[in-house]
Amino acid sequence: MRTTKTTKTTKTTKTAKITRTAKATKITKGFGLIPFVIFAAFVIVVASGCAPRTQYVAPTVDIPPAFKENANWKPPEPKDSEIRGNWWDMFGDPQLNDLEARVDVSNQTLQAVAAQFEQARALVRGARANLGPQIGLNPSIAGVQPSGNRAISSFHDSYVDLILPLTVSYEADVWGRLHGILEANRANAQASAADLESARLSVHSELALDYFTLRGLDREQLLLNNTVQAYEQALDLTQNRFRGGLSSQADVAQAETQLETTRAQAIDVSVARQTLEHAIAVLIGQPASTFSIAIVPLNLDPPGVPVALPTALLERRPDIAAAERRVASASAQVGVATSAYYPILNLSASAGFESSSFGSFLAGASNFWAVGPTMLINVFDAGRRRAAKEQAIGVYNQATANYRQSVLGAFREVEDQLSTLRVLDEEARVQANAVAASERSLTLANNRYRGGVASYLEVITAQSFALQNERAAVNILIRRMNATVLLLKGLGGGWKTS
Q: Please report the pLDDT score of residue 5 as a whole number.
A: 44
Task: Single out the residue of 467, 485, 484 nearest to residue 100, CA to CA.
Answer: 485
Distance, in Å, from the CA atom of 46 to the CA atom of 51, rounded to the nearest integer, reads 9
Domain identity same for 100 and 241: yes
Q: Please report the pLDDT score of residue 24 as a whole number.
A: 41
The verdict on residue 16 lying in a domain is no
Task: Single out the residue of 462, 438, 429 nearest to residue 448, CA to CA.
Answer: 462
Q: Please report the pLDDT score of residue 10 as a whole number.
A: 44
Phi-psi region of 153 (alpha: psi -120 to 50; beta: other; left: phi over 0): beta
- Nearest 5°: the CA angle 362, 365, 369 is 85
Phi-psi region of 4 (alpha: psi -120 to 50; beta: other; left: phi over 0): alpha
Which distant-in-sequence residues (6+ apart) come within 8 Å of 475 by Cβ? 216, 220
- Nearest 5°: the CA angle 119, 121, 125 is 115
Give me the domain span that covers residue 372.
133-172+344-377
Task: Identify residue 493 by its one-letter amino acid code.
Answer: G
pLDDT in tens, the chain (498 residues): 444 444 444 444 444 444 444 444 444 444 455 565 555 555 555 555 555 666 888 899 988 888 887 665 555 555 455 666 789 998 999 999 999 999 999 999 999 999 999 999 999 999 999 999 999 988 888 888 777 776 665 666 777 888 888 999 988 888 888 999 999 999 999 999 999 999 999 999 999 999 999 999 999 999 999 999 999 988 998 899 888 888 888 889 989 999 999 999 999 999 999 999 999 999 999 999 999 999 999 998 898 887 777 888 888 899 999 999 999 999 999 999 998 888 888 888 898 888 877 777 777 788 888 888 888 888 888 999 999 999 999 999 999 999 999 999 999 999 999 999 999 999 999 999 999 999 999 999 989 888 888 888 888 889 999 999 999 999 999 999 999 999 999 998 877 666
CB atoms within 10 A of CB 383: 9
CB 198 within 8 A of CB 323: no
- pTM score: 0.81
The verdict on residue 140 lying in a domain is yes
DSSP H helix total and E strand total for the chain: 9, 5
Query: How many separate domains does the chain show?
Result: 3
Domain identity same for 183 and 242: yes
CB atoms within 10 A of CB 360: 13
The verdict on residue 11 lying in a domain is no
Q: Please report the pLDDT score of residue 294 as a whole number.
A: 94
CB 194 within 8 A of CB 325: yes
Estimate to the nearest angstrom the gap between the alpha carbon of 353 and the chain centroid: 51
Domain identity same for 365 and 450: no
Domain identity same for 145 and 195: no
Domain identity same for 196 and 218: yes
The verdict on residue 437 lying in a domain is yes
Distance, in Å, from the CA atom of 109 to the CA atom of 203, rounded to the nearest integer, reads 8
The verdict on residue 483 lying in a domain is yes
Domain identity same for 331 and 361: no
According to DSSP, the β-strands at 344-355 and 134-137 are unpaired
CB 205 within 8 A of CB 486: yes
The verdict on residue 9 lying in a domain is no
Which distant-in-sequence residues (6+ apart) come within 8 Å of 122 by Cβ? none
Task: Single out the residue of 178, 133, 127 nearest to residue 349, CA to CA.
Answer: 133
Q: Please report the pLDDT score of residue 2 as a whole number.
A: 45
CB atoms within 10 A of CB 75: 17
Domain identity same for 372 and 397: no
Q: What is the CATH number of the domain that holds 71?
A: 1.20.1600.10
Distance, in Å, from the CA atom of 89 to the CA atom of 83, rounded to the nearest integer, reads 10
For 189-213, what is the HEC assignment?
HHHHHHHHHHHHHHHHHHHHHHHHH
Q: Please report the pLDDT score of residue 22 as a whole number.
A: 44
Q: What is the CATH number of the domain that holds 158?
A: 2.20.200.10
Q: Which helix (H) or strand (E) holds 161?
A: strand 159-172
According to DSSP, the β-strands at 134-137 and 140-144 are unpaired
In 146-296, which residue ranges form alpha helices assigned H by DSSP? 177-243, 249-283
Domain identity same for 232 and 327: yes
Q: Please report the pLDDT score of residue 16 as a whole number.
A: 45
